[in-house]
Amino acid sequence: MFMDVLNDETYMRLAIDMASKAKGQTDINPVVGCVVVNDGRIVGLGAHLKRGEGHAEVHALSMAGPAAEGATVYVTLEPCSHHGRTPPCCERIIEAKAARVVVACTDPNPVVAGRGIAKLREAGIVVEVGLLGSESEKMNEAFNTFITTRRPFVTVKSAMTLDGKIATKTGDSRYVSGPESREFVHTLRHQNMAIMVGAQTALADDPELTTRLQVPAVHPIRIVVDSKLRLPLDAKLLRERISPVIVLTTEGADANKRQALEAAGAQVLNCGSGPQVDLAEAMRLLGEQEIASILLEGGGKLNGAMLEQSLVHKVILFIAPKIIGGAASPSSFDFEGFERMAEAIELTRMTVEQIGNDVCIVGYPAYG
Ligand code: AOF
Ligand code: ZN
Per-residue pLDDT tens for 78-135?
A: 999 998 888 899 999 999 999 999 999 999 999 999 999 999 999 999 999 999 999 9
CA geometry: angle at 345 spanning 173 and 303, to 5°? 35
How many other C-beta atoms are found inside a 10 Å radius of the C-beta of residue 58?
19
Per-residue pLDDT tens for 173-208?
A: 999 999 999 999 999 999 999 999 999 999 998 999
Percent of the chain scoring above 90 in pLDDT: 93
CA of 283 to the centre of ligand 2 (A): 28
Q: Can you tell me which atom of ligand 1 is nearest the CA of 147?
A: 15
Name the pLDDT band for 5 (thresholds 50, 70, 90): confident
Q: Can you tell me which atom of ligand 1 is nearest the CA of 46?
A: 3
CB burial of residue 164 (10 Å; 0-12, 13-18, 19+): middle
Per-residue pLDDT tens for 287-301?
A: 999 999 999 998 999
Q: Can you tell me which atom of ligand 1 is nearest the CA of 85?
A: 8
Backbone angles phi, psi at 22, to 5 degrees: -95, 5
Pocket of ligand 1 (CB under 6 A): 29-30, 32, 48, 51, 55-57, 77, 79-80, 84-86, 89, 107, 109, 112, 147
Tell me the residues surrounding ligand 2 (ion) with CB < 5 Å: 55, 80, 89
Name the pLDDT band for 6 (thresholds 50, 70, 90): very high
pLDDT at 1 over 60: no
> How far is Cα of residue 115 from the mean position of the Cα atoms in its chain?
26
Known binding site: residues? 55, 80, 89, 159, 173, 189, 201, 205, 209, 212, 227, 297, 299-305
Q: Tell me the C-alpha distance between 153 and 160, whole Å.
A: 23
Q: Tell me the C-alpha distance between 34 and 48, whole Å.
A: 9
Known binding site for substrate: residues? 173, 189, 209, 212, 297
* Residues facing residue 74 across a β-bridge: 35, 102
Cis peptide before 171 (omega within 30 of 0): no
- pLDDT, averaged across the chain: 96
This complex has an ipTM of 0.93
Q: What is the pLDDT of residue 191?
A: 98
Ligand whose nearest atom lies closest to the CA of 59: 1
Atom 2 of ligand 1, residue of closest alpha carbon = 55
Q: b/e map of 223-252 (b: 16 or more CB within 10 Å)? A: bbbbbbbbbeeebebbeeeebebbbbbbee
Q: What is the secondary structure of 90-112 as a DSSP string? A: HHHHHHTT-SEEEEEE----TTT
CA of 287 to the centre of ligand 2 (A): 23
Atom 10 of ligand 1, residue of closest alpha carbon = 84
Q: Can you tell me which atom of ligand 1 is nearest the CA of 78?
A: 21
Is 346 labeled as catalytic in the residue annotation? no
Ligand whose nearest atom lies closest to the CA of 46: 1
Q: Residue 363: enclosing H or E segment and its boundaries? A: strand 358-366
Atom 20 of ligand 1, residue of closest alpha carbon = 80
Q: What is the pTM of this model?
A: 0.95
> How far is Cα of residue 307 from the mean position of the Cα atoms in its chain?
17
Q: What is the secondary structure of 103-137 as a DSSP string? A: EEE----TTTTTHHHHHHHHTT-EEEE-TTHHHHH
CA of 217 to the centre of ligand 2 (A): 26
Ligand whose nearest atom lies closest to the CA of 147: 1
Instruction: Please tell me which residue in 57, 78, 91, 353 is annotated as part of the active site.
Output: 57
Per-residue pLDDT tens for 153-176?
A: 999 999 999 999 999 999 899 999
CA of 284 to the centre of ligand 2 (A): 27
Domains in the chain (CATH in brackets) are 8-141 (3.40.140.10), 151-366 (3.40.430.10)
CA of 194 to the centre of ligand 1 (A): 21
